[in-house]
Amino acid sequence: MALAPDRVEPVTLAGRIVRLEPLELEHVPRLADVGLDPAIWRWTIARPTSEADLRDWAETTIRARDAGTELPFVTLEAATGRPIGSSRYLNIVLEHRRLEIGWTWIAPAWQRTGANREAKLLMLTYAFETLGCRRVEFKTDSLNAPSRTALLGVGATFEGIFRNHMVMPDGRMRHSAYYSVIDDEWPAVKAGLERSLAR
């Protein structure tokens, strides 16, 4: 088990389908080309409808990165370098060896291509094998059935529902479904992800 560092520093994670690079404002225009479909944001508290909105979203997480509480990535198509989405580490608590993977989205044209699954594999591998995490957690809207199915498909374990957890932009109280992978489970989860990507 790696020793946990004091801080999560920006890093590039490279796979066969995608490459994850630290998100920068220069990525925003090309992300806006693929990332303003309302379906992408339906289950989040963000509702970007313009490049300016997406820039505000990026600026917020970059400030959190500078404060050491988040590490946002732009998801690039490995073959072309084209931005196709984003994900991030957040709720980083390294003294307790845990963090969350969230704010994950992939543009519709790249969904069901293995891009999201490989991004999860890259982020989980770095979290457990470099950062020394003992727990990686995920949360999603309890009504978001595709996301919940995808998290189970990754190998995460459902832990329960946080009721009345977030106020959504339309005023609805969101119940959040929580999932996690812990270090004891990681070898089997990793093997399962690698097998599914090989197919």
Q: pLDDT for 38-97, tens place per residue?
A: 999 999 999 999 999 999 999 999 999 999 999 999 999 999 999 999 999 999 999 999
Task: Judge whether 132 lies within some domain.
Answer: yes
Question: What pTM was estimated for this model as a whole?
Answer: 0.95
Task: Judge whether 21 lies within some domain.
Answer: yes
Task: Judge whether 7 lies within some domain.
Answer: no
Which residues, 6+ apart, have CB-to-CB distance to 109 below 8 Å? 34, 84
Q: What is the domain range of residue 142?
A: 13-198
CATH number, position 55: 3.40.630.30
Tell me how far apart the alpha carbons of residues 24 and 40 are, in angstroms, rounded to a whole number. Answer: 20
Segment 2-29 shows an average pLDDT of 91
Task: Judge whether 3 lies within some domain.
Answer: no
Task: Judge whether 20 lies within some domain.
Answer: yes
Q: Give the pLDDT confidence score for residue 3 in this predicted structure.
A: 52
Residue 2 confidence (pLDDT) above 80? no
Task: Judge whether 149 lies within some domain.
Answer: yes
Total structural domains in the chain?
Answer: 1
Residue 193 confidence (pLDDT) above 50? yes
Task: Judge whether 2 lies within some domain.
Answer: no
Task: Judge whether 72 lies within some domain.
Answer: yes
